Structure 1
Amino acid sequence: MTVRQLRVVVRAEDYEQAVAFYRDALGLPEQAAFTGAGGAEVTILDAGRATLEIANAEQVRMIDDVEVGRDVSPHIRIAFEVDDVVRETTVLADTGATVIAPPTETPWRSLNARLDGPAGLQLTLFEELEPLGGDE
């Protein structure tokens, strides 16, 4: 099997708010949108390169401690790499997100902020402060 794309599907009770937040405020380009019978709507947003990060409970607790100072992670958390975490945290807070923890430098040399976003998603915004191994 060859996986060609990772797509995360989120049920949003306030669909318009979620689309406006993730498309317009976060800046994820709209790839496609469809409507169906009975008021069904979906918007597919391009989030760039996708990875699936599998972490054990100890790792999640350690990341929470570094980024937030306490355990806050739900079962699934979405992380977005951005160019300017400080600016983007402010933009997202102004457009509907709740800041859980402000941008914080991590021991692995990234600047991370934690937010609660629309549609029940907890978000990490991160900015790499130096290239990861193998990246130039």
Structure 2
Amino acid sequence: NVLLGYPHSLTGSVIYGLRLGRKMGIPTINMVMPSQVVVPRHGVYATRAYTDEHTSYMAVTNVGVKPTVSEGNSVSVETHLINFSGDLYDKRVKIEFYKFIRPEQRFADLNELTERIKQDTKDAEEYLKSIE
């Protein structure tokens, strides 16, 4: 971001995922990036999600292969929009990346993953509020 002079961003259409986030109480939007798109290193980020030109939400984003819930190696971008409720399926969303929080990791079970996502969300929200 420092070298770019602005936040790195990815824009894509929201697709249907496994809906595990919703079941865990942390709904997410899912985007798959074409192979020619440069994605940040795998991990969790403090981000901002733009649902249109004028509306944005603080967010936390995972870039990677979701090792706790998937055996595959397909890279996805999964974002939890903080304080958002609604349906964004098939809509285009822009994700701006502000801060790397931690590397992607495999957790022992969904409960451990859920607790970590809650902490990641707090960390992202705290950071994003500090730069407003």
TM superposition score normalised by structure 1: 0.26
Query: More helix by proportion, 1 or 2?
Result: 1
- Answer 1 or 2: which has greater strand percent: 2
- Structure number with greater Rg is 1
